[in-house]
Structure 1
């Protein structure tokens, strides 16, 4: 009789029956291990939570006074004889991959991740395993990110140009992840950074956790509008088109998202500028991350799961598509039926080389 796998997919989330815990469950459970504090991975209602310590204050801010245990990267917790260890995912501050080990069987749940070191959160580390559970939010060849140094040089030049032309500058990005990357990479010699309350609440939670961020100023009803317009305004997607945002007119509005790589996405967001900035791995990042684990099988949880599973299978991976409730982040919800630059899937996939077999740097 085949041995039951260490992790299984259930209607509540990813479950370890031997350890009696779930990873990123979306229904209330007794014991939840959380990869990061985004709303599609960290739900209210669990009796006990385990997460990385840099997620602590954001989880309290978002979920209330939960029963939360936090650990460092590389620190192992035993749950009913099963080893649980967190490793950097490079997604947002406090994000983690979860390694689960029992009787020599090793699984890694990536949560969400990106492979580029953004200089803000701990960079992604490949973790050797037998089974890898991966996202594939941007699992199509059209999604290939430029280095963020190039992107932020463009953003700072745009801000300077707006200032010289008496236009306010508004940048939209998700409150946990993109907002902090933007804040840490702006040229403060141009002006001050002003923030929407939702952004600043998250910044304050991170600062309570010991995270050092560049100075920001919360916009309130008492803020001097003329002074705010001289700086750069960081806002969440929910602010787009709102009376709050309109009061800074005339402004130039930039939207930060991986979906900006798709033709027409900027127009659909009604943005003046589209910045291709994502906290998820691009096509090449996904393939290199999966390959670096040396895994025997890979499970794709959200994103372009069907097509990416097919591609991985064609190049020799034992790949499986699974269905979860992940992938609902505010700025990373895929546009309906996106145009992939006029190219068919097969044409795109055929232009991509299969991954190599280099496991150097994988953690055992």
Structure 2
């Protein structure tokens, strides 16, 4: 198969400039079967193209986006917002049309690049981490006084999504998001959840018990969760385990997160490897109150063998796991953390202890969708469905 892979930003796992979207494209590209010839089309940005991605591709085209000032004059939000206008250049349109004509199929990754689907020749698959209208709906729910403006943004995003080509196959990460998006658009949407790689952790190396929280620390729901962890959960934990330390780790923490640091709270910015954080902790805690999709950091912590205490929002769509405890009540949430800090470290045994959905399995499902796009009807899915 000759595949044109269009990514809204350079595929990477950069600890500063990467995000959930660039992580997916990075991992999928690295894990595609060898018989797929990949042409990568993406946009330049602060993160460079990793060599393992470049070497995987038969050809690479990195386009310059429109300047942010020029894009701002047209920006409203979501699929019709700043990110889209930065990428909606004449060069991008002509390049995707030319390259797709020489490809068996095109995979477009990321909401800011979905507009290019109108210019693709041949079969096309569209993937967005979170459907933008659903993401905008979450922002509307927590917007406060600006809620009317956010509702306009949500409606505009949905209108743009409804204009996506009917022939395009639609993908997202979360099964619940796939079902809701499918119902909104009245067309099939498939959920392909992210993967993680198993990495067994040794016993915690710290002299004091450690609770960790990992996530992008410039993302609104994560900022709120970090505040809850330090402002509400931590004081209750300290009543029983006064020596406990809390570590908040992730990319680009803003002033609100940095202000949470103190004698027993550490903020680690842009950590090169979250595995180091997991290896140094006794338990990961995710008191999320908002969110869409699937929380990657919960899955990665479990893959590292770290016990996790999470709210139902944080544990959304996670498979049952012997190291995962889901609690909605604050008091019980605190007790589960204390149990993990003061009790023996659990050592689950059996296949379920190391079972993890790998990125190779994820890439295989993307290939399945691409082959179905090339041969319509060979593996169609029902509205909002997801593979078992």
- Please give the TM-score of this superposition, normalised by the length of structure 2: 0.35
> Which structure shows the higher strand fraction?
1
> Which structure shows the higher helix fraction?
2
- Please give the TM-score of this superposition, normalised by the length of structure 1: 0.37
